[in-house]
Amino acid sequence: MTDRPTLLLVHGAWHGSWAWVPLQTELESRGWDVRTVDLPTVHADDPRELRMTDDADAIAAAIDAIPGPVAVVAHSYGGVPTTQGATSDSVVHIVYIAAFVLDEGESLLGAVGGVAPSWWVVDGPLATAGTEAEPATGLFFADVDEVAAADAVGRLKPQSSIAFSETVTTVAWRDKPTTYVITEQDAIFPLPAQEALAARSGSTAVRMDTSHSPFLSKPADLADIIENALG
């Protein structure tokens, strides 16, 4: 690739652009132009009625604001609105990290069996992550430095629960080269499910021996994978 793309990092459910700071710092030290987007179903002043497509629109707008080619890096839930919103011709690659790579007519809730997992706390229009029995630290940040993990847990925010049930209608990965980063020690995303999604989407699969958040536990190794994917 002669014209190096700008990287757009898309966070997962309950998270924000803050989660990307170690990876962003690493990539920028290697000369990459890196942007992030805060998804409105988490970060709007009132996200209660916002849907997955609102996140997809935010991603599409962020892509349109970047001159030249773009590679989108999406984590977990962020893979859903990325699949919906990253259809621009300027998108040259999508890197999915332990992400829900869905097809037309599928939703995240449907992908996890149609019933909210036991560690989701759904309170009407909002959902939070982690319970006393299944704390967020172990779910998301099991191999992250203890201080950094505690800081990350404190930054998690409620998210619109509607976002998890809205179905995908447009599939960016059909027309884009894709890479899927499989997190082998993931406490919330079973390994066979990640492998199946990577295979179905035709992604190049790369494995990391990490929890759900390699951008916090092994940012340099993840940066290597992203660089290799983009050639």
What 3-state class would DSSP assign to 207?
strand
The answer to whether residue 72 scores a pLDDT higher than 60 is yes
| pLDDT tens digits along 92-117 | 999 999 999 999 999 999 999 999 99
Contact 1, 228 (CB under 8 A): no
Q: Contacts for 46-50 with beta carbons within 8 Å, 24 or more apart?
A: 47/126, 47/158, 47/159, 47/160, 48/124, 48/125, 48/126, 48/160, 49/125, 49/160, 49/162, 50/160, 50/162, 50/163
| The CATH number fitting domain 6-230, selected from 3.20.20.220, 3.30.750.24, 2.60.120.380, 3.40.50.1820 | 3.40.50.1820
Question: In this predicted structure, what is the pLDDT of residue 1?
Answer: 43
Structure pTM? 0.97
| pLDDT tens digits along 151-180 | 999 999 999 999 999 999 999 999 999 999
Q: Left if phi > 0, otherwise alpha if psi is -120 to 50, otherwise beta: which for 226?
A: alpha
HSE-CB at 91 with a 13 A cutoff on CA atoms is 29
Distance CA 200, CA 188 (A): 20
Task: Name the token pair of 72.
Answer: 């989108």
